[in-house]
Chain A
């Protein structure tokens, strides 16, 4: 990275009106200006002007931010705050100021960068969850293990028995004439922890007459790395995906993780200065055709289910869906289209849950305070299921509910839609069973 200068146009756009303060989760934790978007932009400005060196406190502030971008939604002046804080993180990372850089680099470049390694680790975690965990607790070794490690263990949701990319073939054809040709991103977490959501998504796409392409060599989308400032590896992975997905002539690339979808929509921007013209064009094209699954289904006029589901549900807006991609009504429309489902609006539904990539591991205490507020709001809805369309939020809310000792199910809206489709045909035993289980829990 030769030029790490943050464009001053982006910075001066902020007129420090303060409208961003009430929606900022971190400002609302400590009520300190430096922990607000307005304050952070000012600090970035001083760093860019050379009036403030990159201090520990500056670095801490940049990573204290969850990058939820709620401030961007309310900003009347249209400040691109996400871009600013991400640029600042790139600067911190590239210049070697970040003390955790080595650990992060290791996670990003070894774990996420290779699907093989990622899945290996997932398999180990699976083994651990199945047997070693109990053993460790039995011999009480957990008391001497580092606290952070214990938390990672607790925060990690159960690894799926089979990973979705190992079940799903490269090309799937719908039952009848295909209307759309779509690519599908299996993702990292979705693939190993929520592989059933991926399978639900593909089934729903097939039900909606889509021919689904799942490139074998697709990589992690790169969003987690980019958000933490490791732009180099993020770009490498993005490039890989651009090439893989460009092999087919697709109408859309459908993504069911809010964070991944948001980042893939930025691929064009990421490669805007790329010298290789064909790569640049491909990147732009990928950005253009990338759709969140809720957005895509809504746009094509998805098939309305006609089986009735007697459920009370609520919906949590994932930050990267609501604030970054501005998708809020589509998932609600999909949920409300299911007959019998009673939809209760969640108070502060667009308030971050505190997951934010690996924030909940790196900044556990802050993350938990933010989560508590979310869980309190969720419990007030008295819903049976909380729906959300991002694996990070999914895991975080599951953890919060477990901590609160509440037996409420977390689900992707598309999984619920798939249940409704299945009930229509009364086919899939597992899904029908999961619905019945919710009904049984009522008593």
Chain B
């Protein structure tokens, strides 16, 4: 990057807010995604929406890429810098600007840590349900950009269900406000849904208005152990079919149980084939009734053991352990490639079985856990990125896993986003016109391609179109010309 550009960035935010040392650049070359990295040319720390606006305007002028970043906990490479880029560091925007107890809303800056928001609103008896695994460090801005999910997704939905309004700096530098405190609001296009989950490619959030709900009066955390994943899967299906919607319905396979136990020392039976972590919440009477029903279903499906967390502290420990499952798996092998293939929930048992079959076929270890209740699975390959041959096998296995998920009407990503990691799979899920629709939106809003460009999809020139991928298609094209 030109020294002149660096100087102009320094003019905007101040000299000490532009970091160019090699140590800083290395430290911002990655996020939580395995095996992906890229060096930015500089790291810029804006302090106001106007700073963000001026930086984006400069980027349009000087044609460099701006990669927004919060805490860097993303799992799709969304904040991994591309070449000729700067990192736009938003993690110091940590103010909760307002908690409106009458309208049940919270206005926050994008760098607010998800778990801190939980704590703050719960002081008022309010509740912000989205709870991604990384919530102790992930930022709300990142959650909105990736439309993050979490353990409570089954009953309460994901981040998009709680975003009421946004202050956004558009890729061309204009600052706009959309949405507001109204529960009902249909003025104009529903722009919010275009921006939520746009993975930092369509705008930089500078203020976020969130919907809150009353905190459930009581909750109970249950644990059920099974000999096989199949029995656990059947139990999940039966719970859903009996019209109970737990707040959380998570499953862990044996590999994951052992790693979690090694980390958290909770006294889990390491020989169990699978376990279900279930949380029901709501009115105390309802909680009582539902947990009894669930117990019956578990026993009927061959649960070897069934436990209720004795205290809030114990319940918290269990949930925390589950949240750290993916990193705990790194105890087996250094690189853990965590995916989030998701299927309609009735297909969970079938998908889980298929994943195991694929892992066996390629002779790799895939630990499996996930949000069984909402069909969001986390097949996690345990490997070593230094072993190129095994990495190749992992890649092939995941390709098959995604293919199968799509075949079942599922999706390549339930909550992590496409980013860099799953770009090549997007075309498997969507037909070309749908992807072109997305590209068109990007082209219009970001004509110079400066905001996190290169993520989600390639912005190919309009005339190129999709290349044929099978012999059949090639022959079809060939026939056109003869």
Which of A's residues lie within 8 Å of B, judged by CB?
Answer: 8-9, 12-13, 15-19, 21-22, 31-34, 36, 39, 42-43, 46, 52, 55, 57-58, 61, 75-78
Nearest-neighbour CB distance to chain B for A13, whole angstroms, equals 5
Pick the residue among A22, A34, A78 that contacts B27 (CB under 8 A): A34
Q: Which residues of B contact A52 (CB under 8 A)?
A: 22-23, 26
Measured CA separation A82–B168 after assembly (Å): 41
Pick the residue among B32, B262, B263, B334 that contacts A13 (CB under 8 A): B334
Given known pairs A22-B136, A76-B263, the reply for A33 and B330 (CB within 8 Å) is no
Interface string of B67-104 (1 = CB under 8 A from A): 00001110000000000000000011000000000000
Task: Specify the chain A residue showing the minimal Cβ separation from B111.
Answer: A31
Q: Which residues of B contact A17 (CB under 8 A)?
A: 32, 73, 134, 326-327
Is B32 in contact with A15, judged by CB distance below 8 angstroms? yes
Q: Which residues of A contact B64 (CB under 8 A)?
A: none
B331 part of interface (Cβ distance < 8 Å)? yes
User: B368-400: which have CB < 8 Å to A?
Assistant: 384-386
Is B30 in contact with A42, judged by CB distance below 8 angstroms? yes
Number of chain B residues close to chain A: CB under 8 A? 38
Measured CA separation A22–B330 after assembly (Å): 20
B254 part of interface (Cβ distance < 8 Å)? no
Given known pairs A33-B28, A42-B27, A77-B331, the reply for A22 and B263 (CB within 8 Å) is no
Given known pairs A16-B32, A33-B72, A42-B30, the reply for A76 and B134 (CB within 8 Å) is no
Nearest-neighbour CB distance to chain B for A81, whole angstroms, equals 14
Q: Which residues of A contact B91 (CB under 8 A)?
A: 31
Pick the residue among B29, B71, B385 that contacts A21 (CB under 8 A): B71
Nearest-neighbour CB distance to chain B for A214, whole angstroms, equals 35
Given known pairs A21-B137, A22-B113, the reply for A15 and B23 (CB within 8 Å) is no
Among A17, A18, A32, A36, chain B packs the most CB atoms within 10 A around the CB of: A17
Q: Which residues of A contact B137 (CB under 8 A)?
A: 18-19, 21-22
Given known pairs A76-B328, A77-B330, the reply for A12 and B23 (CB within 8 Å) is no
Is A13 in contact with B92, judged by CB distance below 8 angstroms? no
Pick the residue among A13, A19, A55 that contacts B324 (CB under 8 A): A19
Task: Specify the chain B residue showing the minimal Cβ separation from A61.
Answer: B23
Q: Is the interface of B mostly helix, strand, loop or mixed?
A: loop
Pick the residue among A22, A43, A46, A76 that contacts B327 (CB under 8 A): A76
Interface string of B1-34 (1 = CB under 8 A from A): 0000000000000000001011110111111101
Given known pairs A22-B136, A78-B263, the reply for A32 and B24 (CB within 8 Å) is yes
The 8 tightest CB contacts between A and B, nearest first, are A76-B327, A77-B330, A76-B324, A34-B27, A33-B27, A12-B334, A39-B27, A76-B328
Q: Which residues of B contact A39 (CB under 8 A)?
A: 27
Nearest-neighbour CB distance to chain B for A289, whole angstroms, equals 23
Is B34 in contact with A15, judged by CB distance below 8 angstroms? yes
Measured CA separation A19–B26 after assembly (Å): 19
Q: Which residues of B contact A18 (CB under 8 A)?
A: 31-32, 71-73, 134, 137-138
Is A16 in contact with B331, judged by CB distance below 8 angstroms? no
Measured CA separation A198–B138 after assembly (Å): 45
28 A–B contact pairs at CB < 8 A? A8-B386, A12-B386, A15-B330, A15-B336, A16-B30, A16-B72, A17-B73, A17-B134, A17-B326, A18-B32, A18-B73, A18-B134, A22-B136, A31-B92, A32-B27, A33-B27, A33-B72, A42-B26, A43-B26, A43-B27, A52-B23, A58-B23, A75-B327, A76-B263, A77-B327, A78-B263, A78-B330, A78-B331
Task: Specify the chain B residue showing the minimal Cβ separation from A51.
Answer: B26
B335 part of interface (Cβ distance < 8 Å)? yes
Q: Which residues of B contact A36 (CB under 8 A)?
A: 27
Nearest-neighbour CB distance to chain A for B73, whole angstroms, equals 4
Is B334 in contact with A34, judged by CB distance below 8 angstroms? no
Is A55 in contact with B22, judged by CB distance below 8 angstroms? yes
Q: Which residues of B contact A78 (CB under 8 A)?
A: 262-263, 330-331
User: B38-76: which have CB < 8 Å to A?
Assistant: 71-73
Measured CA separation A126–B264 after assembly (Å): 47
20 new A-B contacts at CB < 8 Å, known A16-B31, A17-B32: A12-B335, A15-B330, A16-B72, A19-B134, A19-B327, A21-B71, A22-B136, A32-B19, A32-B24, A33-B24, A34-B26, A42-B26, A42-B29, A43-B23, A52-B23, A57-B23, A61-B23, A76-B325, A76-B327, A77-B327
